[in-house]
Structure formats: structure tokens, C-alpha cells
Amino acid sequence: MADTLAGPAPEVPDAVPEFPMPRAGRCPFDPPPALKGLQGEAPLTKVRLWDGSEPWLVTRYAEQRAVLGDPRVSADTDRPGYPTKASPGAGDGKLSFIMMDDPEHARLRRMVTAPFAIKKVEALRPAVQRIVDGLIDDMLAGPQPVDLVEAFALPIPSLVICELLGVPYDDHAFFQDNTKTMVHRDATPEQRGRASREVAGYLAGLIGRRLAEPKDDLLSSIAARITAGEIDHQQATEMALLLLIAGHETTANMIALGTLALLENPGQLALLRKTDDPQLVASTVEELLRYLNITHLGRRRAVTEDIEIAGQVIKAGEGVIMVNEIANRDPEVFPDPDRLDITRDARRHVAFGFGVHQCLGQPLARMELQVVYGTLYRRIPTLKLACDLQDVKFKHDAFIYGVHELPVAW
Ligand code: HEM
């Protein structure tokens, strides 16, 4: 053997970087430096996942949109080449239409689109304002410091999605705990499966009750599709599960992480605090979505026919990952991308994805965040972090980035 004749073979540097990569400890809002390095090098590169597979990573904004808008890429996790999830055993189950392709994806999505239309969502704004004001009243009346995640960030989207779906908010501790397990990167497949089955069983029960006794809520309109023979009980449950999870975990993380980002950028916070211009509040929301990128592990797809991206052919059966985190920091599209600037026009960001799977709930998320960012710092102008930034626990371990807790005082 060559080893015995000429000593051990020299180590060949590993050219394919591992994904996901760690963030730099001192920059919790920035993408991992190695990821930005890859963006600077090429629009497309191979990465290695935990199981040894090597999908393509698309690093730049234009190319990410090209792939996500291409009907020859599939969101179906069963397709050959679909990149495995971020950790062993993660997300093996199908979560309704987010993991399907057209025409079935479109057929199911259409069934639940109506309540998320801009007009419908705007009609909810006064109710969301009341929720936000009520939670701030409670915080102001209670002891300090308070955990902003528990007292404010989680209840707002949970209350709203419960109201829309017709899920009793009194059960929020049950589904929030289970959702936390479902999106925890280090949860075992068994833990994740159990949590998902618990919530699914609970929702299936609620849908069953709506079949017998419909109400004026989204679960009842989903149940009506079962009655009409368009979907079965299982499909209805998966759809409700998708809406419940997507509807609260994401927005809650944007509220807490966004607040922290503003507290760490006092100049920007001062601008926001003193404005009564709804346009500036709206642009703050877009900029924070661009800057923070809470769905930090990327859109994943399998390529079903050969496609050419930036001169490189991605073959049918290969996997591809689009990390919006670096697309939204692409200097070609967002000048000085690492600066949080609430006055910039960030509306082209891809924090809600792109293409047919673009976030269904984005009008709702936007409205909730506008109410929050337009209210919290004006009503509590002295809001401050009640611990050192180094002591804040970031959700490196979750599919959706954010903070586990945010102790604040005023
Ligand atoms: C700030 C909050 C939110 C962020 C950052 C966010 C982000 C995203 C992203 C990136 C996708 C695309 C996934 C993909 O292409 O694979 C998506 C899809 C989706 N989101 Fe959101 N989301 C948010 C809030 C919400 C809310 C409030 C709902 C309400 C129920 C919701 C429901 C959905 C659904 C149903 C899909 C699947 C759409 C489809 O596959 O056609 N999201 N979201």
C-alpha cells in the first residue's frame, strides 16, 4: 500500500464546505461569514450536508429567484435528490402543500387563500392593535424585567392565528410546546414525530367537531372541503397543522429578534420611535425581514429536469438549496447590505420566499409586524435589554432563527 511505502498520503483539503455553517458569535444578526465568502466566490457551489450528500447551494439573489421561479424544480421531499433536512431525522413528515408541486399544491393552497387576502387582513388590524395594546398594558402593570418572547412576541401571532382558524387560545401552551419541539434542530425523530402527532390529533378532533357543527372560522371552511369530497380528513389536518405552525412561530421570532436588532441599533430605533408615518413603519418591517432572515436554513428543492443556472447545468435528480439569508445581503441588489437602514426600500427581499410557494401568510405577518413595530417603542420609549447581549440565547438550534428569551425592562 502507498501508505507503507511512502508514509501516509498527504491530506487533501476538503473542497466541499459543510452546510449549515456557524454564525460569528459577535454578529448574531449576520449570516455565517463562510456563507458570505461563498457568495463572493460564485453564484453556485456544492455543499455537504450531515448525511454526506452534496446538493448545490445558490448564493446570489438573481439566481435564487431564477431557481425558485422555475417549474422544473420540485418542493416534494420524496423526489430523488431532494436535499435532506438540516439534521438527522428532521421533518420527515409531509407538511401539506408547502411540500407539494402544482397542480396539487395550487389546488390545496387555493382552499385556504381567502382569509389571507390583503383586504381581509386589513379588517383584522383594529383587533390586532387591541391585542398589542392589551399585552403592553399587562407588561407595564407587571414586574420587571419581563421576557418579551413569553409576554408579547408569542401571544400576538398565536392569538391571531387561533382566532382565524378557530383553535381555542386556552390550548396555546400545548401547541406552542409541541411546535417548539417540531422546529428544534436537535430534537430526535421520535420527539419530533410525537410532537407532530399530538398537535395533528388535536386538530383532527377540532375539524371533526366542525364537520358536525360548523362555525365562522377557517377550520370550518377546511371541514367543508371534506364534506364536498375535495380532501380527506388527513389532508385537512395537515393543512391546519401547516397554518398553525407557520402562523405563529415565524412572526413571533420576527417580533423578538426585530426588537433586539432595533435595541442594538439605537439610531434606527430613535427614527422609528418618533415617527407617525405609517410608510416608515412599513419600511422598517421590510428592512427587518430582509436583515434578519429568520428562515435561515434555506429553501430546498429537487431538480426534475436539467436546468442551467449561471452557466452551470444542474442535473435532474440533483438537490438545490437557496439561502434567503445571503440573497437578502447580496450587494448587487441591496447596497451596503450589512447595514440595518429602516429608510431603505427593501421590498424586493426574499424573506417570504419566491415563486409558487411564496408565503401565503405574508399580508398577515406584515400587518402584525407593522402594528407591533409601530406601537411597542412608542408606548415604552425607554424599553431596554435587561441582560448583556452575550447572554442572549439565540436559536442556532432551530429551523426558524430567533431568540429563546428576551429579558427587557424600561
Ligand atoms: C414573518 C413571518 C413569516 C415569514 C418570514 C415566513 C416565511 C415563509 C417562507 C420563506 C415561505 C416559503 C417556503 C418555501 O418556499 O419553501 C413561507 C411559506 C408559507 N407560509 Fe410563511 N412566513 C411568515 C409568516 C406566515 C404566517 C403568519 C402564515 C399564516 C398562516 C404563513 C403561512 C405560510 C404558508 C401556508 C406557506 C406555504 C406556501 C406554499 O407552499 O404555497 N407564514 N413562509
Q: What are the structural domain ranges in the chain?
A: 33-409
pLDDT value of position 91 = 43
C-alpha distances (whole Å) from 204 to each of 150, 158, 242 are: 27, 19, 13
For the Cβ of 408 lying below 6 angstroms from any atom of ligand 1, the answer is no
CA-nearest of 22, 96, 410, 130 to 245 is 96
Q: Is the CB of 64 under 6 A from ligand 1?
A: no
Ligand 1 contacts CB of residue 365 (under 6 A): yes
- Ligand 1 atom with minimal separation from the 350 CA: 10
Fold classified for 33-409: Cytochrome p450 (1.10.630)
Q: State in Å: Cα 249 to ligand 1 middle.
A: 10
The pLDDT, as a whole number, for residue 180 is 75
Instruction: Please state the atom number of ligand 1 nearest to the C-alpha of residue 365.
Output: 27
3 alpha carbon to ligand 1 midpoint, in Å?
53
Q: How far is the CA of 75 from the centre of ligand 1 (A)?
A: 14
* Packing angle of the helix pair 233-263, 278-292 (nearest 10 deg): 100
Return the ligand 1 atom nearest residue 301 CA.
Answer: 16
| 313 backbone dihedrals φ, ψ, rounded to 5° | -85, 125
Query: What is the per-residue pLDDT for 185?
Result: 66
| Set of cell numbers at residue 365 | 405577518
Q: Helices then strands (H, E): number in the chain?
A: 16, 10
Quote the ligand 1 centre to 361 CA distance (angstroms): 6
CA of 358 to the centre of ligand 1 (A): 7
pTM (2 d.p.): 0.92
Task: Give the three-class secondary structure for 271.
Answer: helix
CB distance 352 to ligand 1 below 6 Å: yes
Query: From the CA of 352, how far away is ligand 1's center (Å)?
Result: 6
Tens digit of each residue's pLDDT, the chain (410 residues): 334 444 555 555 558 999 999 998 788 999 999 999 999 999 999 999 989 999 999 999 999 999 999 999 999 999 999 998 654 444 445 689 999 999 999 999 999 999 999 999 999 999 999 999 999 999 999 999 999 999 999 999 999 999 999 998 888 888 878 877 876 666 787 888 888 888 899 999 999 999 999 999 999 999 999 999 999 999 999 999 999 888 888 999 999 999 999 999 999 999 999 998 999 999 999 999 999 999 998 999 999 999 999 999 999 999 999 999 999 999 999 999 999 999 999 999 999 999 999 999 999 999 999 999 999 999 999 999 999 999 999 998 788 899 999 999 99
Q: What is the pLDDT of residue 9?
A: 53
Amino acid 16: pLDDT: 93
Cis check: omega of the bond before 143, within 30 degrees of 0: no
Q: What is the Cα 100 distance to its own chain's centre?
A: 18
Rounded Cα distance between 242 and 74, Å, is 18
Nearest CA to ligand 1 atom 31: 361
Among 108, 222, 359, residue to substitute to test ligand 1 (most atoms within 8 Å of Cβ): 359
246 ligand 1 Cβ < 6 A: yes
Q: From the alpha carbon of 75, which atom of ligand 1 is closest? A: 16
pLDDT at 8: 55
Amino acid residing at 47: V
Q: Specify the residue for cell string 448574531.
A: 28
Residue 319 to residue 300: CA distance in whole angstroms = 7
How far is Cα 290 from Cα 209, in angstroms, rounded to an integer? 41
What does the DSSP 8-state code read for residue 215? Answer: -
Does residue 251's CB lie within 6 angstroms of at least one atom of ligand 1?
A: yes
400 lines ligand 1 (CB under 6 A): no
Which atom of ligand 1 is found nearest the CA of 355? 15
CA of 157 to the centre of ligand 1 (A): 13
Distance from Cα 5 to the centre of ligand 1, integer Å: 58
**Cα torsion angle, 191, 194, 200, 202, sign:** negative
